[in-house]
Amino acid sequence: MSKQNKPAYGGQAVVEGVMFGGKHHYVTAIRRKNKEIDYFRLPRKSSSSLTALKKIPFIRGIAAIIEASANGTKHLNFSTDRYDLDPEDDEKLNEPKKESKLTMILGVAAIGVLSFLFGKFIFTLVPLFLAELTRPVFSSDLSQILIEGLFKLILLLAYIYAISFTPLIKRVFQYHGAEHKVINCYENGMPLTVENVQSNSRLHYRCGSSFLLFTVIVGVFVYMLVPTEPLYVRVLNRLALIPVVIGISFEVLQFTNKLRDVPVLKWLGYPGLCLQLLTTKEPDNEQTEVAIASFNEMLRLEKETEEGIKTEQIV
């Protein structure tokens, strides 16, 4: 099966593990405290309205984020609840959550799709007000939009760079790299061994990190269509245009992914790949093993479901 005909599987790094999603199932594999690999399996369910929205260009991006957030929360909670807990103490999971555990969950969510919409408000409004402070020097609409985009980019890079130094986030970024390596290995038609997976790139055109960067770039062009004065109008425009920027950015992400094997045009996705140099790190062999285990389990469940569907159709 060629790379173009392979299913476009996606994934998400969690605490001490990786989640992969197929057409019918989501699977998370994590490394437990006793070094064993534990799994969380969840059938993929989507409302008919959400499924319909995911087929409409420029709207499907927002629908995809909503679905990913809803499903990702359960997998993130699974990983944060268990990764540092001995399997013999799993009964403690029924105890009330400690504040430190909740804080940890929120900290990890801040780099994923769970906090995307909340973060988008912050990364939209803060650069706006910073740019407005420069209006005495840069007074034209175009200069304000460019300065605003520059502040947004600086804020995004500084935030990712700062959190990458924390031990927990650094390991999440390593699992993020392992997730990409597994998908690249699979799409390249190579057997999913640790050696093969490690030989693949930790960067991938379809990554959510690229999506974040595209929202910055797309925003600059979209904001050129609306006024920047007075300030309250500028604020309202930015908030109202968040869905528009997200929708267009998702289409740009899909477009660059389709062109990744086309000479010259593949460069369109390079800005997003460069950002992934910050949001992914090289995983070790044990982390890669967890990512492979998650992907293989997802493939197994997908195969069983497809065979069951075919059997039902025959009967």
pLDDT digits (tens, 9 = 90+) for 219-262: 999 999 998 889 999 999 998 998 899 899 989 888 888 888 78
Q: How confident is the model at residue 309 (pLDDT cuts 50, 70, 90)?
A: confident
pLDDT tens, position by position, 139-188 = 899 999 999 999 999 988 998 898 888 999 999 999 999 999 999 999 99
Is residue 89 scored above 80 in pLDDT? no
Query: What is the separation of C-alpha 24 from the centre of its chain, rounded to a whole number of angstroms?
Result: 19
pLDDT greater at residue 73 or residue 78: 78
Mean pLDDT, the chain, whole residue set: 84
Q: How confident is the model at residue 5 (pLDDT cuts 50, 70, 90)?
A: low
Q: What percent of the chain is predicted at pLDDT more than 70?
A: 85
Flag whether 18 is in a domain: yes
pLDDT of 28:
95
Flag whether 2 is in a domain: no
Flag whether 1 is in a domain: no
Flag whether 148 is in a domain: yes
pLDDT of 263:
78
User: Tell me, what DSSP letter sits at residue 200?
Assistant: S
Residues near 150 by beta carbon (within 8 Å), at least 6 away in sequence: none
Q: How confident is the model at residue 82 (pLDDT cuts 50, 70, 90)?
A: confident
Q: Structural domain of residue 304, as residue ranges?
A: 10-314
Is residue 113 scored above 80 in pLDDT? no
Total domains in the chain come to 1
C-alpha distance from residue 50 to each of 30, 99, 255, 309 (Å): 29, 34, 22, 22
The encoded tokens of residue 124 equal 């939209």
Flag whether 213 is in a domain: yes
Which amino acid, residue 218?
V
Flag whether 3 is in a domain: no
pLDDT of 84:
80
Alpha helices in the chain (DSSP H): 48-53, 60-82, 99-109, 116-133, 141-163, 167-187, 194-198, 208-223, 231-240, 242-258, 270-279, 285-314
Distance from C-alpha of 286 to C-alpha of 291, rounded to nearest angstrom: 9
Flag whether 181 is in a domain: yes
Helix (H, G, I), strand (E, B) or coil at 30: strand
pLDDT greater at residue 139 or residue 70: 139
Flag whether 105 is in a domain: yes
The encoded tokens of residue 23 equal 């057409």
The predicted model scores a pTM of 0.83
Q: How many residues does the chain have?
A: 315
